[in-house]
Structures are given as structure tokens and as C-alpha cells.
Structure 1
Amino acid sequence: MNSKLLFAVLICIGVVISGCNNYKSNDFTVSGKITSIDENNGYVYLDNRSRVIKYKDYNELKVGQSVKFVLYSTLEDDAWVIEKIKVKSVEILDTP
């Protein structure tokens, strides 16, 4: 009887572990040159306003810098909702 219970528990653990292997990360990378910074809203604009990122530490950045943002979405789908996109890290690639 105990071996059947152990076997059932092992099967359940295997199913749970295999389900976790399909985890999809919401991280993505955006890079470009900072063309302007909106200090009132905390927005950083890359590549002539084609990309907008809300960044609380915008005062550490300067117009003209080339940067790489690693971002993640708090939404389940791929919609670009600026309030739901969070900054994971920022790397300054080039300073003017």
C-alpha cells in the first residue's frame, strides 16, 4: 500500500515540475539614444520619441546617451501599457 502512495506522490511531483518548465519570462530589452526626458511625468524618450519608458530615476540619465533598458511587463499579454512596464535594469552604453 505504501509503495502505491509513494508512486502516486512521485507522479504528482513530476507533473508539477514539468508544468514549471514552460514558464514564460516577460523580460525584454529596449535600447537606443535618449532624445528627450519629460521630468514632469518621469518619461524617457528614445530614438526621437518612438519609444517611451517611465523611469523613476530619470535624473541619472542625460539626453544624448545611448542606453539599454531591460524591462518587464506586469500584464499577461504583449500590450505596451506604459504604466504596466517596469524597469529591471539600465545600462549606459555611450555618453556624449
Structure 2
Amino acid sequence: MYSLCTLILLTLALTLPARAGDNEATFVQKCGSCHQRGGQAPPVNPADKAGLVWKKYFKRGRHPVDLAATINDAEMALILSYLQDHAADSDHPVAAAIPK
């Protein structure tokens, strides 16, 4: 039993950083083309809003462009997770996530 628990914890420890990286990569890839300096939309800083505000923003359809054609549900979940993980009220706020 002890070795099974250790194996599960080790597996989680090794896979969680990869998921966090997937969140950031998806955010940059899917949002970066418009939300960069000089792009079609203003730069997005996750720390500009609290985590709950990001969630409500997308849930209420506040984004001015319909994202359904370019971002699937799984990608949106990764993007939202990234924004919430680095929101103003998070432990690791990020002020500028999309490079120039």
C-alpha cells in the first residue's frame, strides 16, 4: 500500500509542472497573435484581474470576438487556468505573459 501511494504522488509531482507549462504555451499560442504589442487587441496581463473575474469574463461571453471557431473547450480550460493561476489574487501574479 505504501509503495502505491508513493508511486501515485511521484507521478503527480512529475506531471503537474508539465500541465502548468501546457497552460502557458496554449495561452501564448492561442491568444498571442492578437494580444501582443502592436496586435489587433491590447496586451493581456493575467494580473490585471482577479481569478474569479477571469472566470466570469469568459463565462458571460465578454470577449469581443467569438473564440469558438479558434479555441476548443479543452484549450479554453487551459487558458482560463493559466489566467487564474497568475491573476492578481494568485500566489504567482504575472504582469506580462505574451512576448512582443
Query: When the two structures are superposed, what TM-score results if normalisation uses the length of structure 2?
Result: 0.30
Return the structure number with greater helix share. Answer: 2
Higher RCO (Cα < 8 Å, 6 or more apart) = 2
Return the structure number with greater strand share. Answer: 1
Higher gyration radius (CA):
1
